[in-house]
Protein backbone atom coordinates (compact mmCIF):
# COMPACT_ATOMS: atom_id res chain seq x y z
CA UNK A 1 0.00 0.00 0.00
CA UNK A 2 1.56 3.26 -1.17
CA UNK A 3 0.83 6.95 -0.64
CA UNK A 4 0.68 9.94 -2.99
CA UNK A 5 2.26 13.39 -3.10
CA UNK A 6 -0.70 15.65 -3.72
CA UNK A 7 -4.16 16.26 -5.12
CA UNK A 8 -3.79 14.30 -8.35
CA UNK A 9 -1.68 11.45 -9.70
CA UNK A 10 1.73 12.27 -11.16
CA UNK A 11 3.17 10.34 -14.11
CA UNK A 12 5.60 8.57 -11.77
CA UNK A 13 2.79 7.59 -9.41
CA UNK A 14 0.78 6.12 -12.26
CA UNK A 15 3.80 3.98 -13.07
CA UNK A 16 4.13 2.88 -9.44
CA UNK A 17 0.45 1.91 -9.26
CA UNK A 18 0.97 -0.48 -12.15
CA UNK A 19 3.66 -2.41 -10.27
CA UNK A 20 2.41 -5.96 -9.51
CA UNK A 21 3.40 -5.69 -5.85
CA UNK A 22 1.18 -2.62 -5.29
CA UNK A 23 -2.29 -3.50 -4.06
CA UNK A 24 -3.61 -0.30 -2.58
CA UNK A 25 -3.27 3.42 -1.87
CA UNK A 26 -3.67 5.27 1.42
CA UNK A 27 -4.72 8.92 1.29
CA UNK A 28 -3.73 11.69 3.72
CA UNK A 29 -4.83 15.28 4.35
CA UNK A 30 -2.37 16.48 1.69
CA UNK A 31 -4.40 14.54 -0.87
CA UNK A 32 -7.66 16.29 -0.02
CA UNK A 33 -9.06 19.65 -1.11
CA UNK A 34 -12.76 19.02 -1.64
CA UNK A 35 -15.22 16.14 -2.09
CA UNK A 36 -15.21 16.65 -5.85
CA UNK A 37 -11.42 16.67 -6.09
CA UNK A 38 -10.93 13.55 -3.99
CA UNK A 39 -13.66 11.73 -5.93
CA UNK A 40 -11.71 12.38 -9.15
CA UNK A 41 -8.47 11.26 -7.48
CA UNK A 42 -10.03 8.01 -6.28
CA UNK A 43 -11.53 7.37 -9.72
CA UNK A 44 -8.11 7.81 -11.32
CA UNK A 45 -6.58 5.35 -8.83
CA UNK A 46 -9.33 2.80 -9.47
CA UNK A 47 -8.84 3.24 -13.22
CA UNK A 48 -5.10 2.57 -13.02
CA UNK A 49 -5.39 -1.21 -12.67
CA UNK A 50 -7.76 -4.11 -13.14
CA UNK A 51 -8.78 -5.53 -10.75
CA UNK A 52 -8.80 -2.13 -9.16
CA UNK A 53 -6.56 -1.08 -6.29
CA UNK A 54 -7.91 -0.61 -2.80
CA UNK A 55 -8.14 3.00 -1.59
CA UNK A 56 -8.04 3.61 2.17
CA UNK A 57 -7.75 6.46 4.64
CA UNK A 58 -7.39 6.97 8.40
CA UNK A 59 -10.73 8.55 9.25
CA UNK A 60 -11.58 7.63 12.86
CA UNK A 61 -12.82 11.00 14.07
CA UNK A 62 -11.29 13.21 16.72
CA UNK A 63 -7.58 13.82 16.13
CA UNK A 64 -7.44 11.32 13.27
CA UNK A 65 -9.73 12.49 10.49
CA UNK A 66 -7.95 13.24 7.21
CA UNK A 67 -10.84 14.93 5.38
CA UNK A 68 -12.51 17.88 7.11
CA UNK A 69 -14.03 20.52 4.82
CA UNK A 70 -17.16 19.02 3.25
CA UNK A 71 -17.21 16.11 5.72
CA UNK A 72 -18.92 15.80 9.10
CA UNK A 73 -16.41 16.37 11.90
CA UNK A 74 -16.67 13.25 14.04
CA UNK A 75 -15.98 13.11 17.79
CA UNK A 76 -13.11 11.09 19.22
CA UNK A 77 -14.02 7.52 20.16
CA UNK A 78 -13.68 8.29 23.86
CA UNK A 79 -16.66 10.63 23.57
CA UNK A 80 -18.85 7.55 23.15
CA UNK A 81 -17.10 5.91 26.09
CA UNK A 82 -17.82 8.92 28.31
CA UNK A 83 -21.48 8.80 27.33
CA UNK A 84 -21.51 5.04 27.94
CA UNK A 85 -20.91 5.70 31.64
CA UNK A 86 -24.12 7.73 31.77
CA UNK A 87 -26.31 6.06 29.15
CA UNK A 88 -24.99 2.81 27.59
CA UNK A 89 -27.93 2.35 25.23
CA UNK A 90 -27.77 5.85 23.81
CA UNK A 91 -23.99 5.64 23.49
CA UNK A 92 -24.19 2.41 21.49
CA UNK A 93 -26.84 3.86 19.16
CA UNK A 94 -24.68 6.91 18.54
CA UNK A 95 -21.56 4.81 17.92
CA UNK A 96 -23.46 2.89 15.25
CA UNK A 97 -24.69 6.15 13.73
CA UNK A 98 -21.17 7.57 13.68
CA UNK A 99 -19.74 4.44 12.08
CA UNK A 100 -22.43 4.59 9.41
CA UNK A 101 -21.93 8.31 8.81
CA UNK A 102 -18.16 8.02 8.55
CA UNK A 103 -18.39 5.11 6.12
CA UNK A 104 -21.24 6.54 4.03
CA UNK A 105 -19.50 9.88 3.50
CA UNK A 106 -16.32 8.11 2.43
CA UNK A 107 -18.19 5.73 0.13
CA UNK A 108 -19.79 8.76 -1.52
CA UNK A 109 -16.35 9.85 -2.75
CA UNK A 110 -15.31 6.31 -3.68
CA UNK A 111 -13.06 5.41 -0.73
CA UNK A 112 -13.12 1.66 -0.11
CA UNK A 113 -12.44 1.67 3.62
CA UNK A 114 -11.18 3.56 6.64
CA UNK A 115 -8.71 2.04 9.08
CA UNK A 116 -11.22 1.97 11.94
CA UNK A 117 -12.30 1.32 14.63
CA UNK A 118 -9.52 1.57 17.20
CA UNK A 119 -9.70 -1.46 19.52
CA UNK A 120 -6.85 -0.38 21.79
CA UNK A 121 -7.81 0.18 25.41
CA UNK A 122 -7.05 3.56 26.96
CA UNK A 123 -5.00 2.47 29.97
CA UNK A 124 -4.04 6.04 30.87
CA UNK A 125 -0.43 6.05 29.68
CA UNK A 126 -0.43 6.28 25.87
CA UNK A 127 -0.81 9.78 24.46
CA UNK A 128 -0.87 8.52 20.88
CA UNK A 129 -3.89 6.34 21.71
CA UNK A 130 -5.63 8.28 24.49
CA UNK A 131 -9.06 9.46 23.37
CA UNK A 132 -8.82 7.44 20.15
CA UNK A 133 -9.85 4.51 22.37
CA UNK A 134 -13.50 3.93 23.20
CA UNK A 135 -12.81 2.96 26.80
CA UNK A 136 -10.31 1.64 29.34
CA UNK A 137 -12.28 -1.56 29.99
CA UNK A 138 -12.67 -4.40 27.47
CA UNK A 139 -16.45 -4.86 27.74
CA UNK A 140 -17.65 -1.31 26.95
CA UNK A 141 -14.85 -0.83 24.41
CA UNK A 142 -15.95 -3.96 22.58
CA UNK A 143 -19.63 -3.14 22.72
CA UNK A 144 -19.06 0.33 21.26
CA UNK A 145 -16.65 -0.95 18.62
CA UNK A 146 -19.16 -3.61 17.60
CA UNK A 147 -21.83 -0.96 17.06
CA UNK A 148 -19.34 1.09 15.04
CA UNK A 149 -18.61 -2.00 12.90
CA UNK A 150 -22.33 -2.56 12.33
CA UNK A 151 -22.75 1.03 11.20
CA UNK A 152 -19.86 0.70 8.77
CA UNK A 153 -21.29 -2.56 7.46
CA UNK A 154 -24.69 -0.94 6.93
CA UNK A 155 -22.97 1.74 4.84
CA UNK A 156 -21.08 -0.73 2.64
CA UNK A 157 -17.66 -0.65 4.30
CA UNK A 158 -15.53 -3.34 5.95
CA UNK A 159 -14.01 -2.59 9.36
CA UNK A 160 -10.35 -2.78 10.40
CA UNK A 161 -9.54 -3.16 14.10
CA UNK A 162 -6.26 -1.68 15.29
CA UNK A 163 -3.57 -2.00 16.68
CA UNK A 164 -3.21 -5.74 17.36
CA UNK A 165 -2.57 -6.97 20.02
CA UNK A 166 -2.92 -3.59 21.79
CA UNK A 167 -1.02 -0.27 21.88
CA UNK A 168 -2.67 1.32 24.91
CA UNK A 169 -0.29 0.20 27.67
CA UNK A 170 2.92 1.87 26.46
CA UNK A 171 3.96 5.49 26.85
CA UNK A 172 6.15 5.63 23.73
CA UNK A 173 4.64 6.58 20.37
CA UNK A 174 5.59 4.05 17.68
CA UNK A 175 5.64 6.84 15.07
CA UNK A 176 8.81 8.27 16.65
CA UNK A 177 10.02 5.64 19.12
CA UNK A 178 10.25 1.88 19.72
CA UNK A 179 7.61 1.07 22.36
CA UNK A 180 8.21 -1.84 24.74
CA UNK A 181 5.33 -3.41 26.69
CA UNK A 182 6.59 -5.22 29.80
CA UNK A 183 3.41 -7.12 30.66
CA UNK A 184 2.99 -10.87 30.57
CA UNK A 185 1.15 -12.70 27.82
CA UNK A 186 -1.57 -13.64 30.32
CA UNK A 187 -2.17 -9.97 31.23
CA UNK A 188 -2.42 -8.97 27.57
CA UNK A 189 -4.69 -11.91 26.80
CA UNK A 190 -7.09 -11.04 29.63
CA UNK A 191 -7.25 -7.37 28.75
CA UNK A 192 -6.09 -5.97 25.40
CA UNK A 193 -6.90 -9.00 23.26
CA UNK A 194 -10.50 -9.26 24.48
CA UNK A 195 -11.87 -6.63 22.06
CA UNK A 196 -10.03 -8.24 19.14
CA UNK A 197 -11.24 -11.73 20.01
CA UNK A 198 -14.85 -10.66 20.34
CA UNK A 199 -14.78 -8.49 17.23
CA UNK A 200 -13.39 -11.40 15.25
CA UNK A 201 -16.46 -13.32 16.35
CA UNK A 202 -18.61 -10.44 15.07
CA UNK A 203 -17.07 -10.69 11.60
CA UNK A 204 -14.20 -8.20 11.71
CA UNK A 205 -12.77 -8.10 8.17
CA UNK A 206 -9.24 -6.86 8.94
CA UNK A 207 -6.77 -5.93 11.66
CA UNK A 208 -3.78 -3.60 11.69
CA UNK A 209 -0.72 -4.59 13.68
CA UNK A 210 1.12 -2.68 16.40
CA UNK A 211 4.79 -1.74 16.13
CA UNK A 212 5.19 -2.64 19.80
CA UNK A 213 7.62 -5.12 21.38
CA UNK A 214 5.96 -7.26 24.06
CA UNK A 215 9.27 -8.29 25.56
CA UNK A 216 8.01 -11.08 27.82
CA UNK A 217 6.33 -12.69 24.81
CA UNK A 218 8.58 -12.07 21.80
CA UNK A 219 11.65 -9.93 21.09
CA UNK A 220 10.08 -8.74 17.80
CA UNK A 221 7.36 -6.09 17.41
CA UNK A 222 3.98 -7.68 16.69
CA UNK A 223 4.18 -6.56 13.04
CA UNK A 224 7.17 -8.86 12.50
CA UNK A 225 6.19 -11.64 14.89
CA UNK A 226 4.98 -15.01 13.55
CA UNK A 227 4.00 -15.82 17.12
CA UNK A 228 1.56 -12.92 17.37
CA UNK A 229 0.21 -13.06 13.83
CA UNK A 230 0.20 -16.79 13.11
CA UNK A 231 -0.01 -18.57 16.45
CA UNK A 232 -2.17 -16.08 18.35
CA UNK A 233 -4.19 -14.20 15.73
CA UNK A 234 -4.71 -16.96 13.15
CA UNK A 235 -4.60 -20.15 15.21
CA UNK A 236 -5.74 -19.20 18.72
CA UNK A 237 -8.26 -16.51 17.77
CA UNK A 238 -9.28 -18.10 14.47
CA UNK A 239 -9.00 -14.86 12.49
CA UNK A 240 -9.58 -15.37 8.76
CA UNK A 241 -9.55 -11.74 7.61
CA UNK A 242 -6.84 -9.49 6.20
CA UNK A 243 -3.82 -8.37 8.19
CA UNK A 244 -2.37 -4.91 7.50
CA UNK A 245 0.89 -3.82 9.05
CA UNK A 246 1.05 -0.32 10.44
CA UNK A 247 3.12 2.05 8.30
CA UNK A 248 6.58 0.54 7.82
CA UNK A 249 8.08 4.02 7.72
CA UNK A 250 7.42 4.51 11.43
CA UNK A 251 10.26 4.38 13.94
CA UNK A 252 8.68 1.43 15.72
CA UNK A 253 9.36 -0.66 12.62
CA UNK A 254 13.04 0.31 12.41
CA UNK A 255 14.19 -2.66 14.51
CA UNK A 256 13.64 -4.90 11.47
CA UNK A 257 16.22 -3.05 9.36
CA UNK A 258 15.89 -1.03 6.17
CA UNK A 259 12.64 -0.75 4.23
CA UNK A 260 13.19 -3.92 2.23
CA UNK A 261 14.03 -5.91 5.36
CA UNK A 262 10.93 -4.51 7.09
CA UNK A 263 8.71 -5.44 4.15
CA UNK A 264 10.10 -8.96 3.91
CA UNK A 265 9.81 -9.52 7.67
CA UNK A 266 6.22 -8.26 7.86
CA UNK A 267 5.09 -10.43 4.94
CA UNK A 268 6.91 -13.47 6.35
CA UNK A 269 5.28 -12.93 9.74
CA UNK A 270 1.79 -13.03 8.22
CA UNK A 271 0.84 -9.56 6.99
CA UNK A 272 -1.24 -9.46 3.80
CA UNK A 273 -0.62 -5.81 2.96
CA UNK A 274 2.14 -3.45 4.11
CA UNK A 275 1.67 0.34 3.95
CA UNK A 276 4.90 2.18 3.11
CA UNK A 277 4.19 5.88 3.60
CA UNK A 278 5.90 9.28 3.61
CA UNK A 279 9.11 7.85 2.22
CA UNK A 280 9.20 7.84 -1.63
CA UNK A 281 12.78 6.48 -1.79
CA UNK A 282 11.78 3.71 0.61
CA UNK A 283 8.75 2.84 -1.50
CA UNK A 284 10.90 2.61 -4.61
CA UNK A 285 13.49 0.54 -2.76
CA UNK A 286 10.86 -1.98 -1.69
CA UNK A 287 9.29 -2.23 -5.14
CA UNK A 288 12.68 -2.59 -6.84
CA UNK A 289 14.14 -5.12 -4.41
CA UNK A 290 11.43 -7.29 -2.92
CA UNK A 291 10.95 -10.75 -4.36
CA UNK A 292 7.32 -10.64 -5.53
CA UNK A 293 5.24 -13.71 -4.73
CA UNK A 294 1.61 -14.22 -5.64
CA UNK A 295 -0.44 -14.84 -2.48
CA UNK A 296 -3.87 -16.27 -3.44
CA UNK A 297 -5.16 -16.50 0.15
CA UNK A 298 -4.11 -12.95 0.83
CA UNK A 299 -5.85 -11.75 -2.33
CA UNK A 300 -9.07 -13.40 -1.18
CA UNK A 301 -8.84 -11.79 2.25
CA UNK A 302 -8.11 -8.36 0.78
CA UNK A 303 -10.97 -8.69 -1.71
CA UNK A 304 -13.37 -8.31 1.22
CA UNK A 305 -12.04 -4.78 1.74
CA UNK A 306 -13.46 -3.38 -1.49
CA UNK A 307 -16.29 -0.98 -0.79
CA UNK A 308 -19.91 -1.89 -1.47
CA UNK A 309 -23.08 0.13 -2.02
CA UNK A 310 -21.59 2.83 -4.27
CA UNK A 311 -23.41 6.14 -4.39
CA UNK A 312 -23.01 9.65 -5.72
CA UNK A 313 -22.48 12.53 -3.32
CA UNK A 314 -25.73 14.13 -4.47
CA UNK A 315 -27.56 10.99 -3.34
CA UNK A 316 -25.88 11.22 0.06
CA UNK A 317 -26.81 14.86 0.60
CA UNK A 318 -30.44 14.11 -0.26
CA UNK A 319 -30.66 11.13 2.10
CA UNK A 320 -32.80 11.81 5.22
CA UNK A 321 -30.76 9.24 7.18
CA UNK A 322 -27.58 11.22 6.46
CA UNK A 323 -29.19 14.48 7.56
CA UNK A 324 -30.37 12.89 10.81
CA UNK A 325 -26.93 11.42 11.46
CA UNK A 326 -25.24 14.80 10.94
CA UNK A 327 -27.69 16.40 13.38
CA UNK A 328 -26.98 13.73 15.98
CA UNK A 329 -23.22 14.28 15.74
CA UNK A 330 -23.76 18.02 16.14
CA UNK A 331 -25.85 17.43 19.25
CA UNK A 332 -23.25 15.04 20.62
CA UNK A 333 -20.75 17.90 20.53
CA UNK A 334 -23.02 19.86 22.89
CA UNK A 335 -22.62 18.79 26.53
CA UNK A 336 -25.99 20.19 27.50
CA UNK A 337 -27.87 17.65 25.39
CA UNK A 338 -25.74 14.59 26.03
CA UNK A 339 -28.28 12.81 28.26
CA UNK A 340 -31.20 13.39 25.89
CA UNK A 341 -29.64 11.65 22.90
Catalytic residue list: 175, 246
Residue 298 CB coordination number (10 Å): 18
102-113 burial code (b ≥16 CB/10 A, e <16): bbbbbbbbbbbb
C-alpha 187/C-alpha 250 separation (Å) is: 26
For strands 160-164 and 206-209, give the pairing: parallel
> Which residues, 6 or more positions from 122, have their beta carbon under 8 angstroms from its beta carbon?
78, 81, 129, 130, 131, 132, 133, 134, 135, 136, 168
Q: Are 2 and 16 in contact (CB under 8 A)?
A: yes
C-alpha 257/C-alpha 19 separation (Å) is: 23
Question: What is the strand order of the sheet 54-57 is part of?
Answer: 24-27, 54-57, 113-114
> Which residues, 6 or more positions from 320, have their beta carbon under 8 angstroms from its beta carbon?
none
Amino acid sequence: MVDLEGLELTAEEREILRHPAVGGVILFSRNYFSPGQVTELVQSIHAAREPRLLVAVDHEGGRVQRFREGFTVLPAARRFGDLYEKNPGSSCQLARTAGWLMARELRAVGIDFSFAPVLDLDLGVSKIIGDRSFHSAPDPATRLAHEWLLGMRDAGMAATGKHFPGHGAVVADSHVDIPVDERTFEDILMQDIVPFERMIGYGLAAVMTAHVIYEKVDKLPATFSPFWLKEVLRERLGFQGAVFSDDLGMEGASVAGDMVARAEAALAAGCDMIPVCNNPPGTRQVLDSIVWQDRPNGHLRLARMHGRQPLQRQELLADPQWKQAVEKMARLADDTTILSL
